[in-house]
Amino acid sequence: MLYLLSFLVLVMLSVGIAIIFVKDILNAVILSTVVSLIASVIFLFIAAPDVAITEAAIGAALTTVVFVIAIKRTKIKATIKKE
């Protein structure tokens, strides 16, 4: 159990560092979703299922949807201004 939690924390840290070096903003949003999902799994392992469900629902799902919609709308406005 301790090894699994340590592995998940290391993966979460490495994905967090990878977010810094990603050039595309959509990929950064996807990687932040991965961090949030790993955090929800960690919360589940430390016996906090209510926090895990909230993190998965809000942290992973809702935040990702809001960011993707904002990115798409920003790209649409940027292409309209270029024309």
pLDDT beyond 90 at 68: yes
Of how many residues is the chain composed? 83
Q: Summarize the confidence of residues 28-33 as an average pLDDT.
A: 94
pTM of the complete model: 0.83
Task: For residues 32-42, give the mean pLDDT.
Answer: 94
Domain ranges of the chain: 2-82
For 80, half-sphere exposure in the C-beta direction (CA atoms, 13 angstrom radius) is 6
Q: Mean pLDDT, to the nearest integer, of 55-70?
A: 92
